[in-house]
Amino acid sequence: MYVDLVGSSLSSSFREFAVATSVTILLVSWIRALLKDRRAKPNLPMVGRDGFIGTYITAFRFALNQRSVLEEGYAMYKERSFMIPELTGWRIMFSSSDMVNEIKGASEELLSATDATRDVLQSQYTVGDEIHTNPYHLTIIRTHLTRNLETVIPDLLDEIPQAFKSLIPESAKDAEGWISVKGFETVIHIIAQVSNRIFVGAPLCHNSDYIRLITKFAEDVMISATIIAVFPNALKPIVAWVLGTCERRTDAVLKHTHCILEERLASIKEKGRNYEGKPSDLLSWCIDATTGDAATPRNLTRRLLGVNFASLHTTSISLTHVLYALASRPEYVTPLREEVEEAIIDGGWTQEAINSCLKMDSFFKETERLLGLGASTMTRRLMKNHTFVDGSFVPAGATVSVFTTARHRDSGAYGENAHEFDGFRFCRNSENDDNDASHHFVTTSPDFVFFGHGKHSCPGRYFAASEMKAIFAYIIRNFDIKFSDGFTPREVWFGASCIPDISAQLLFRRRFSSSPPL
């Protein structure tokens, strides 16, 4: 008995010692890794206090709300380059158009967008390393999807009314006909259903559990990436395993996609790649682009999740910003509605009709100019020591970005009212010149970097813009839209992102007792 008690006590003490030792080793490893990443310090003006504690206070502030720290730096240094301490290194911020153009023209060997994206998304842990090492889906989006917009848009237009029937049900209207829904949540599900009509087709795009899983995956990736990024490289696989985002979501979605993929793969094996009746959607294009071990239901499902993440996360935020802007500014409803109705009378419910709506295009661009997706853009990892055109010397390993707000609110580009919302700012010149595309929503420039700028600009922006504008046109044609009296949505910044107010309730009221031919 005595021996058992002593053994039990020693065993308990040993376990406590082992746990304490392990935690200590992890903390020491963590601190050493963080310090190592900070050794190569650029010789640039810095935001925040110097010293070990001061820089980490700024780093935590930057991790929580990039925009406030960036505005602080811009107020001090204007268009001069400056640096901000991060938890695992240094972020170099550029604000001038000259620096935008230098990043645009730089090679991947000097400024790597791929490595920077991998760091931001922690993609090897959140969406799968093969998505990063073999991003063939980007080529599909640039070629098949963009070039076949005229082919896929009819299906997209057909899906929009179906999405609204289930997500904004007439049975929920009040005595005055208004239906109240959670704005951001509803937009995410509309985008998910409409996008997946093009990605996987019907009936899977109507499956509520499938839609729930892919929208949850989009949320999980950003949360997991933020958590994993805080840890040094040695600990990241452990943290990713604990979170389990990628594998768990892949398993869940595979239950819905496995049979579809097995059927399509079997048809190709039996009849060839161009068999009669083959679905024309993104899933088929991905199958065509894969061979060998990559052409398995699991790998293709993971690729589908990666595409959905990129599409849902950015498109939902962007469209919600636009709908909130419209609900907050009712004076724009009539001219936008008249433009849409005239376009539909002339051209029908088609992509050409939607593309002809210059006021709507301008309203989108102005909303994203002032809000957009985040405080920084065109993020790159510097692969070797480099002196930039403004004389800034930056050592290899640093991350560089463009301060979006500085470019989008530049009075030199946008005039004295650069900080004010002017919904038709971009259509005044283009209305007089049909061949001038410089003011269009999808057109990038050093002064409009919402989609990035240059060869790494968002490859899916043409599809995303067409989808968002089609949904917007359907809403403004078929519904009145507003917020509750006196409500103003908050501008929420978390990390680098500008997130729509998730508490905001949008009110919709159908304008017709029966749906018009739209």
Binding residue per annotation — 286? no
Of 227, 160, 511, 193, nearest to 341 (Cα)?
511
What was the pLDDT predicted at 513?
A: 53
Q: What is the pLDDT of residue 430?
A: 63
Look at residue 195 and tell me if it is in a domain.
yes
Phi and psi dihedrals of 510, rounded to 5?
A: -65, 135
DSSP state of 387: E
Indicate whether 515 belongs to any domain: no
Tokens linked to 319: 């469209």
Identify the H or E element spanning 111: strand 111-112
Of 35, 36, 45, 52, nearest to 93 (Cα)? Answer: 45
86 within a domain of the structure (yes/no): yes
- Whether residue 12 lies inside any domain: the answer is no
Asked whether residue 2 is assigned to any structural domain, the reply reads no
273 occurs within a structural domain = yes
| pTM of the predicted structure, to 2 decimals | 0.89
The domain containing residue 422 runs over which residues?
52-510
pLDDT for 38: 52
With H, G, I as helix, E, B as strand and everything else as coil, classify residue 302.
Answer: helix
- Count structural domains, the chain: 1
Mean pLDDT over each residue of the chain, to the nearest integer = 87
pLDDT less than 70: residues of the chain: 1-40, 429-435, 513-518
CATH number of the CATH domain containing 479: 1.10.630.10
CA angle 200, 204, 206 (to 5 degrees): 120
Q: Transcribe 212-223 into DSSP letters.
A: HHHHHHHHHHHH
Largest CA distance in the chain: 96
Which pLDDT does position 223 carry in this prediction?
Answer: 83
Q: Does residue 396 sit within a domain?
A: yes
Residue 224 covered by a domain: yes
- The per-residue DSSP string of 75-125 comes to HHHTTS-EEEEETTEEEEEE-SHHHHHHHHH--TTTEEHHHHHHHHHTHII
